[in-house]
């Protein structure tokens, strides 16, 4: 459960609520016409811009905002330990002995990569395949990400369009002050919806998905490096040294004291 | 038939129609002067900016918005199967035996590339030629794409120019309220046209064409990799392993269960 | 003669003329103060930003907008035929026999490159020199291009400054309505000039010059590849295969029919 | 202590104070509703956009603004002298003799890298590990940096939202002039807060953190180059020559007088 | 003496002066409060954003705007001739014979590089060192450049803040028209200062410094190439061929006439 997303959303709603109540204009917040214009316009333009094969991923991507698994420094440390153990076993009993362990790690990328080692593929072919796989996954995620960035571009523009329409209505009804209220409401509320949607929904989603993807990529890079070590038959102590590079906090532990290690 | 483009356009028109009818200002939507200013201005500036050799492609590119063939994950899977079969045949009967099969695949890039293999060109020359070809096709498509992006930049600016002209007319006719209506109409409608053209026509077209090109490029990369495998005489099982890397969904099937494959 | 530039400019002027006449505000179009502010400001800022050694090129670059030679697909096809013939002659009679032919092609880059082959320079040195030459030409053209982009950035800002000055004058003369006309004229006309200059003159020029440079670069890359082939002594059939890669339309001719070639 | 940050902040506050006092509108500066809207909105959107694992670093990053250690040209010169001494000792007594010296330098990156040399790892492995480490540190810092840039994007937008809300309140209370004051206050103060936060807090912080990171990276690159020299067993005079390249001011000392060195 | 900077500045001042006099609002130009707000704000924010070690270079960088030495095509031609002569001498009498000549060229980068040749360093080490030196000089100059770009971003924003403050004062004093003048003056003059500073001072400075750096880099690349040729012992005719690549105008001289050279 990604608490930050929930706290951020609640915080944002509380902020808006407080300001609107203080200004005594809470009733302006709900306006179906403004809603149709901003979200109808944004989604229609997005439908034209992206094929269904891309759009269908945005639902599961949105879900990631709340349940996205983020691997911490500790998780990476633990992963590195697992990898070192596997490298040790591979040297003692051969890579075939790893088959059962691979199943336990339950990561499709690692399973796929280790299977290539077990199948006896050449070192270079394994590296090429893993690199391509990392690249294509990255490009795929980047595309999904781009949908949210595009929506963050469209929504304030439709908000602006709503303001424009509201201003026209106000000007047309200058002689009839009683209808000015509704016109003003559309003008203000569409801009409000446009800014809110872009800055509380679409843009933060794009940023957080990008962060999640980077986080996942870092984990896959650790596994890829480990697979290459195992394929080459590196010594376990060497594997640990090579993988520790991926830990941001690694250097902190032994500041100025490398000899005591 | 690209349903998303049609649904998006209809959705966009319905959104605008609903909002204008609700605001009782539907009659403002049609204004020939605003139309001339926004589209005349945008197309004139585009004509100055791009040569005819580039502009002539935008008609067929626009057509792609509705009929553009998009290769799905299944299509790619099927293509990989075809390629593996060809690789098998090539190993058994030699590359010359593939000539008839190449004709059936009906893809000019694949035909061109396989012909190089049949002609006995060196592996490196084949790879270089295919890479250059992919690069030039990409650059060409990117340029066509850029025309739509440029138009998406120009059209809101001409909308703004229209608003400016409308404001001048309003100010000039402050003493004659009856003529204010027409002036307001231009001011509003040009901005409206400018925003609509940029965000419903030009920008989504540029984005979707980019997506179509990426999709087509991915397919050509699969074929290029297959041609290289065939040229090298790789084992069919190896060819499949190498090509499966291009399938985004490939890893999902055997999560944590690589040994049972 | 680049017809597109002329048609675009005439179309742009016709559009503006029609809209201004329709709005009955054609007389606002000519305002010397606005002209001095927008163009004086833009050119002064550009003079500070770029040295004369760069600025002196913008006149010949502007000329290219009307007379710029653009090499079509057919021109490239013809160039490739010439190159294949030269490669054939070089294999039969030696590279020295090409001296007279080089003169006929009348291209300084090709002459320079072939001279290196005739002089017997090493293959790698020839390639390095041609690559550097292409790179420096590209950088030089990119810099000229940047001047127009910079002017497209400056001119709307000086338009805005004019609007600001106009607004001040209006506010200062609220009590004297008769002088408001001139103040409004500056406010509107400077913005108009700024937008027009940026979007009809500077930005399209920058884009079209970029396109012309790409077009010329593609031609030089064909010649560079041909020179390398001749220097290596490639077979003419190989030369054609390698150069055909540069033709965008090449694949269309034999869709699904490679065997009949 | 980073004096520039303190002077800049005091200068910024003095500037604002002087202008507000001169305009007699100092009382507008404090407005809790505007504060809640701009900072509540900005922080809420940031919470949605970034995970806690990233956000927790912004406190220590903010601290760096005041206490960030910046290595001057002299510090680098001194570091290079230390490194040359170490290289000399390593050649005379072997790398094992450096263990005690490493402890004195008190830099975790240097300790980590030298330990690899002492452990007898291969030259290429040491270089790869150090490069990856530099890359990951850079990416990590760049991400923290991005949080401040994102906040600099959000805060003026929430300022704009406040202005919008203020304008609505003004329009709603046109008949009740006494309440206009408070509405105006929100409109102005939120914009003010938004611009101030973006341009005095978030953007300068992002820029200065980037500069600090570059500065630290340059120092680590000097150490990495030195470690490679020691690992290769380069002559001390060579080490100095290679490391002097990193000193920007190095060339100034002997303009036109290289022979007297 | 860089005449363009002087002419541009005078042209800019003349333009502004003419427009203000024509509009009869020249007296608005001098306003100490606006000056404090725009320049105080811009410099304060810049102080927070950059450390002193970076900021101290902007004074000498500003001086370069007027006295910056720009190497023309002729200067480069002459430099190439010098280099060819040195290469000739090096082949005849050995690199040691160049020591006196190096002193005469009075360029620290060339002196530093040639000293490495005379000291007998390996070819690869010399190339690496020169590449790193060019890279670090470029990065250093780019950072100084960035300060001016940052100031060009800040100054219009503080102009906007001034307009905001001016508008508040106007609204507060609606009942007292006599004080509106001063309020308007701040509103207008700050925007004016902000735009002027960004577009006449900071942005052109950043652009011209970038151009100067490119120009200097091109010259250093010629020297670096020459040093590599001398280190390798290339024939003088070869050195000239390799260095001529750096002359943009080189190809023009012998269009279609390579054989007569």
Assess contact for C222 and C76: CB atoms under 8 A. Answer: yes
Selecting from D51, D125, D128 the residue whose C-beta is nearest the C-beta of A211 gives: D51
Q: Does A31 touch chain D (CB under 8 A)?
A: no
Contacts of E216 in chain D (CB under 8 A): none
Secondary structure letter of residue D50 according to DSSP: S
pLDDT over 60 at D2, yes or no: yes
Task: Give the closest-approach CA distance of C20 to chain B in angstroms.
Answer: 8
CA contacts within 13 A on the Cβ side of C185 = 18
Q: Tell me: the pLDDT tens digits for C70-95? A: 788 888 999 999 999 999 999 898 88
How far is residue E98's CA from residue E81's CA, in Å, rounded to a whole number? 15
Nearest residue in chain C measured CA to CA from B125 = C242
- DSSP code per residue over A66-93: HH-----HHHHHHHHHHHHHHHHHHHHH
Contacts of B202 in chain A (CB under 8 A): none
Nearest residue in chain C measured CA to CA from E242 = C129
pLDDT over 90 at C237, yes or no: no
Contacts of D164 in chain A (CB under 8 A): 188, 191-192
Residue D254 confidence (pLDDT): 40
pLDDT over 50 at C257, yes or no: no
- Cβ C164–E191 below 8 Å, yes or no? yes
Q: Tell me: the pLDDT tens digits for A126-144? A: 999 999 989 988 888 999 9
Task: Give the closest-approach CA distance of A51 to chain D in angstroms.
Answer: 26
Tell me which of B84 and B165 has the higher pLDDT: B84
How far is residue A238's CA from residue A228's CA, in Å, rounded to a whole number? 12
Secondary structure letter of residue A198 according to DSSP: I
Mean pLDDT check: name the lowest of A10-19, D58-67, D243-252, E175-184.
E175-184
Q: What is the CA radius of gyration of chain C?
A: 26
Buried b (16+ CB within 10 A) or exposed e, A73-105: eeebeebbeebbebbbbbeeeebeebeeebeeb
Residue with tokens 């509003």: B188
Neighbouring CB atoms inside 10 A of B76's CB total: 21
- Cβ D25–E161 below 8 Å, yes or no? no
Nearest residue in chain E measured CA to CA from D1 = E51
Contacts of C256 in chain B (CB under 8 A): 103-108, 111
Number of inter-chain CB pairs under 8 A, B vs C: 160
Task: Give the closest-approach CA distance of B48 to chain C in angstroms.
Answer: 4
Q: Tell me: the pLDDT tens digits for A51-107? A: 888 888 888 888 888 887 778 888 899 999 999 999 999 989 888 888 888 777 778
Q: Which is nearest to A60 in space by CA: A141, A117, A3?
A: A141
Assess contact for E53 and E199: CB atoms under 8 A. Answer: no
Task: Give the closest-approach CA distance of B13 to chain C in angstroms.
Answer: 26
Nearest residue in chain D measured CA to CA from A8 = D44
Ranges of residues in chain E whose predicted pLDDT is under 50: 253-261
Q: Does E16 touch chain D (CB under 8 A)?
A: no
How far is residue D70's CA from residue C35's CA, in Å, rounded to a whole number? 50
Residue A261 confidence (pLDDT): 30
**Cβ contacts of A15-20, under 8 Å, gap ≥ 24:** A15/D36, A15/D37, A15/D40, A15/D41, A15/D44, A16/A196, A16/D41, A18/D33, A18/D36, A18/D40, A19/D33, A19/D36, A19/D37, A19/D162, A19/D165, A19/D186, A20/D165
From the CB coordinates, do chains D and E have 3 or more pairs under 8 Å?
yes
Residue B3 confidence (pLDDT): 84
pLDDT over 90 at B11, yes or no: yes
pLDDT over 50 at A258, yes or no: no
- The fraction of chain A above a pLDDT of 70, given in percent, is 90
Opening angle at CA C187, ends C185 and C192, nearest 5: 90
Q: Tell me: the pLDDT tens digits for D233-256? A: 888 888 988 898 888 766 554 433
pLDDT band at C7; cut points 50, 70, 90: very high
Structure tokens at B259: 């040994």
How far is residue A215's CA from residue E137's CA, in Å, rounded to a whole number? 34
Assess contact for E28 and E111: CB atoms under 8 A. Answer: no
Secondary structure letter of residue B98 according to DSSP: G
Residue with tokens 């498509």: B141
- Cβ A44–B8 below 8 Å, yes or no? yes
Q: Tell me: the pLDDT tens digits for D172-200? A: 666 666 666 777 778 888 888 998 899 99
Task: Give the closest-approach CA distance of C256 to chain E in angstroms.
Answer: 42
CA dihedral sign of residues A84, A90, A95, A98: negative
Q: Which value does ipTM take for this structure?
A: 0.84
Contacts of C47 in chain E (CB under 8 A): 4-5, 7-8, 11
From the CB coordinates, do chains E and B have 3 or more pairs under 8 Å?
no
Residues within 8 A of A (CB atoms), B 85-144 only: none
Residues within 8 A of D (CB atoms), A 221-250 only: 238, 241-242, 245-246, 248, 250
Mean pLDDT check: name the lowest of A199-203, B246-250, C124-128, D19-23.
B246-250
Which one of A7, A9, A12 would you mutate to disrupt binding with D, by most D Cβ within 10 Å of its Cβ?
A: A12
How far is residue D95's CA from residue D231's CA, in Å, rounded to a whole number? 8
Structure tokens at D150: 């994102």
Assess contact for B83 and C225: CB atoms under 8 A. Answer: no
Residue B221 confidence (pLDDT): 92
Residue D11 confidence (pLDDT): 93
Q: Tell me: the pLDDT tens digits for E48-93? A: 999 888 888 888 888 888 887 778 888 899 999 999 999 999 989 8
pLDDT band at A154; cut points 50, 70, 90: very high
How far is residue D28's CA from residue E137's CA, in Å, rounded to a whole number? 48
Q: Does E210 touch chain C (CB under 8 A)?
A: no
Q: Tell me: the pLDDT tens digits for D123-142? A: 998 999 999 989 988 888 99
How far is residue A19's CA from residue D32's CA, in Å, rounded to a whole number? 10
Nearest residue in chain B measured CA to CA from C192 = B161
- Mean pLDDT, rounded, for C135-144: 89
- Start-to-end Cα distance in chain E: 37
Q: In the predicted model, what is the mean pLDDT of chain A?
A: 85
């Amino acid at each position: 459960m990604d608490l930050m997303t929930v706290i951020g959303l609640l915080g944002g709603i509380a902020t808006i609520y407080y300001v609107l109540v203080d200004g005594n204009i809470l009733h302006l917040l709900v306006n179906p016409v403004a809603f149709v214009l901003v979200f109808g316009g944004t989604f229609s333009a997005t439908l034209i811009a992206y094929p269904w094969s891309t759009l269908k991923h945005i639902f599961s991507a949105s879900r990631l905002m709340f349940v996205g698994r983020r691997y911490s420094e500790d998780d990476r440390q633990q992963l590195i330990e697992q990898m070192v153990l596997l490298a040790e076993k591979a040297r003692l009993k051969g890579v075939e002995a790893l088959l059962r362990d691979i199943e336990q790690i339950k990561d499709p990328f690692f399973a796929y990569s280790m299977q290539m080692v077990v199948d006896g593929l050449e070192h270079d072919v394994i590296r090429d395949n893993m690199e391509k796989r990392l690249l294509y996954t990255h490009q795929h995620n980047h595309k999904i990400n781009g949908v949210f960035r595009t929506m963050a571009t469209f929504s304030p523009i439709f908000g602006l369009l709503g303001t424009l329409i509201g201003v026209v209505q106000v000007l047309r009804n200058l002689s009839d002050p009683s209808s000015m209220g509704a016109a003003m409401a559309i003008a203000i509320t569409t801009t409000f919806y446009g800014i809110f949607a872009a800055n509380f929904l679409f843009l933060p989603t794009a940023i957080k998905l990008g962060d999640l993807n980077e986080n996942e990529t870092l984990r896959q890079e650790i596994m890829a490096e480990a697979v290459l070590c195992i394929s080459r038959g590196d010594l376990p102590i060497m594997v640990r040294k090579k993988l520790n590079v991926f830990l941001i906090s690694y250097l902190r532990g032994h500041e100025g004291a490398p000899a005591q290690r």
